Amino acid sequence: MIFDTHAHYDDEQFNDDRDILLNHMEDNGICTIINVGASLDGCKNSIALAEKYPFIYASIGVHPDEVGNLNEETFAWLKKQCEHQKVVAVGEIGLDYYWDNESHDLQKKWFIAQLNIAKEKNLPVVIHSREAAQDTLEIMKEYAKDLTGIIHCFSYSVEMAKEYVKMGFYIGIGGVVTFKNSKKLKDVVSEIPLERIVLETDCPYLSPVPNRGKRNSSLNLTYVIEEIASIKDISPEEVIRQTELNAYTVYPKCRKNIS
Ligand code: NI
């Protein structure tokens, strides 16, 4: 079945129909969803969703745009949440030099601190990196050596993807791969083994073609699966099967749910 490794169902865009939508996931072949926290409130809401739905798990972390809200107290709170049985990863964490909401030094400081939480709690990480390829790689090489996880919404070169694969990381592929102008990402999918690819929506954002621009949900992953299958010249069923296995390897705390 389909494993969505990165979603934000706590987003207000789902306020009107969240429960109806989530109750239909299983009928549509979606077995597991990781709801990813990006802010402190997002972490709380992700845990609440995970407590409500057996097939939802939470990843908790503070996005680089939001690290201004971290301090000793909130950081200690974050660390404590990792002990929750349905918290399966630390993220999304990383560097974002596109929005540049916080200084690079502050982003780096909290990125490293959160990588250290993952090490201490023995959890995988979900990495957000935008227009910060070199600094992210340098930090990962120094502080994420013993970790695994997902480079979410991958937007860099084939060479960079291969670097992360070599380090034991997985590449998150979502709606962007269906965009006409996404040749670079299609090349990444073509060049790295299927054994290193996981599916993600980042919903409500990044809806694939033909629903580009509309609110995204895990139900749209079929378009992403078809695109990966076509690039790799394999069946959609093979894409679903292997990416599900990969996701359970990254998030071992979800394994009791294996289909
Ligand atoms: Ni996200």
Average pLDDT over residues 48-74: 96
Name residue 245's amino acid: L
CA of 7 to the centre of ligand 1 (A): 6
Inter-residue contact 94 to 132 (CB < 8 Å): yes
Do 33 and 9 form a contact (C-beta atoms < 8 A)? yes
pLDDT digits (tens, 9 = 90+) for 12-28: 999 999 999 999 999 99
Tell me: pLDDT of 257 over 90: no
pTM reported for the whole predicted model: 0.96
pLDDT for residue 42: 97
Reply yes or no on whether the pLDDT at 259 is more than 50.
no
Ligand 1 centroid to Cα of residue 38, in Å, is 7
Alpha carbon of 224 to ligand 1 centroid (Å): 16
User: Which pLDDT does position 93 carry in this prediction?
Assistant: 98
CA–centroid distance, 202 to ligand 1, in Å, is 5
3-state secondary structure of 53: coil
Here the tokens at position 241 are: 């099967």
Residue ranges with CB less than 5 Å from ion ligand 1 = 202
Please, which pLDDT band fits residue 255 given cuts at 50, 70 and 90? confident
